[in-house]
Chains A and B, each alone.
Chain A
Amino acid sequence: MAIFVNSETRLIVQGMTGRSGTFYTDEAIRYGTTCVGGVRPGKGGARHLGLPLFNTVREAAESTQANASLVIVPAPQAGPAMIEAIEAGIGLVVCVTERVPQHDMSRVKQALAGTDTVLIGPNSQGILTPGQCKIGVMPTVNAMPGHIGIASRSASLTSEILAQCSKAGLGQSTTVGIGGDTLHGVGFVDCLKAFRDDPETEAVVLIGEIGGRGEEEAAAYLDSVDYGKPVVALVVGRHAPRGRRMGHAGTLSVLGGGTAEDKIARLRAAGVEIAAHADDVVAAVARATAKAPQKAAAR
Chain B
Amino acid sequence: MFLAEYQSKELLAQYGVLAPDGRPARSPDEAQRLCKEIDARKYVVKAQIGAGGRGLAGGIRFAATPSAVADEARRLLGSTLVTEQTGPAGETVTLVQVEAAIDIAQSCFVAIALDPESGQPMLLASGAGGVEFEQRARMDETTAQSCPLPPDSADARAQIASFLTGVGITEAQGAAIDAIFAARHAFTENDMTLIEINPFARTGDGRWIAVDAKVAIDPNASFRRPEFASMVADRPAPADELAAQKHNINLVRLDGNIGVIANGAGLGLATNDMIMDSGGKPANFMDIRTTASSMDVARGVEILLADDRVSAILLTIHGGGMTSADTVAEGVNFAYAKATRKLPVIAYISGKHADWGHRILRERKVPVESCDTLSAAVGRVVELAGQRRAR
Contacts and interface: CB of A to CB of B under 8 A. Distances in A.
A103 B218 contact: yes
Contacts of B272: 239-240
B255 to A, nearest CB: 9
Given A76-B223, A277-B277, A256 B254 contact: no
A139 B351 contact: yes
Contacts of B265: 154, 156, 180, 209, 246-248
B66 interface: no
A283 to B, nearest CB: 11
Given A108-B119, A110-B119, A252-B111, A156 B320 contact: yes
Interface stretch (A4-12, A35-43, A157-165): A157-165
Nearest to B219: A99
B264 A157 contact: yes
Contacts of A147: none
Contact of B322 (A23, A141, A180, A255): A23
Given A159-B318, A237-B269, A254 B137 contact: yes
Interface stretch (B6-14, B152-160, B285-293): B285-293
Contacts, number: 203
A279 to B, nearest CB: 4
Nearest to B267: A156
Nearest to B265: A247
Nearest to B221: A101
A99 B222 CA distance: 10
Interface residues of B, number: 70
A159 to B, nearest CB: 5
Interface stretch (B96-104, B177-185, B186-194, B306-314): B186-194
Interface in A117-136: 125
Interface string A222-234: 0000000000001
Nearest to B146: A255
B113 interface: yes
Given A139-B352, A160-B351, A180-B265, A76 B218 contact: no
A117 to B, nearest CB: 14
A137 interface: yes
Contacts of A182: 114, 116, 193
Contact of A138 (B111, B121, B320, B373): B320
Interface size class of A (residues with CB under 8 A): 35 or more
A109 B118 contact: yes
B318 A102 contact: no
A163 B274 contact: no
B201 to A, nearest CB: 17
B350 interface: yes
Interface string B301-338: 00000000000000000111110100000000000000
A155 B114 contact: no
B224 interface: yes
Contact of B84 (A110, A243, A276): A243
B268 interface: yes
A139 B320 contact: yes
Given A156-B263, A157-B266, A277-B274, A163 B318 contact: yes
Contacts of A236: 266, 269-270, 273
Q: Is the interface of A mostly helix, strand, loop or mixed?
A: loop
Interface string A173-184: 000000010110
B224 A76 contact: yes
A278 B270 contact: yes
A257 B116 CA distance: 14
B63 to A, nearest CB: 29
Interface in A77-109: 98-103, 105-106, 108-109
Interface in B203-229: 218-221, 223-224
A243 B52 contact: yes
B220 A210 contact: no
Which 10 pairs show the lowest CB-CB distances between chains A and B?
A154-B266, A156-B264, A247-B265, A109-B119, A256-B141, A157-B266, A243-B85, A139-B320, A236-B269, A247-B287
19 contacts: A101-B220, A102-B193, A103-B188, A139-B318, A139-B320, A141-B352, A154-B265, A155-B264, A155-B266, A157-B270, A209-B265, A236-B269, A244-B85, A246-B285, A247-B265, A256-B138, A256-B140, A276-B277, A279-B374
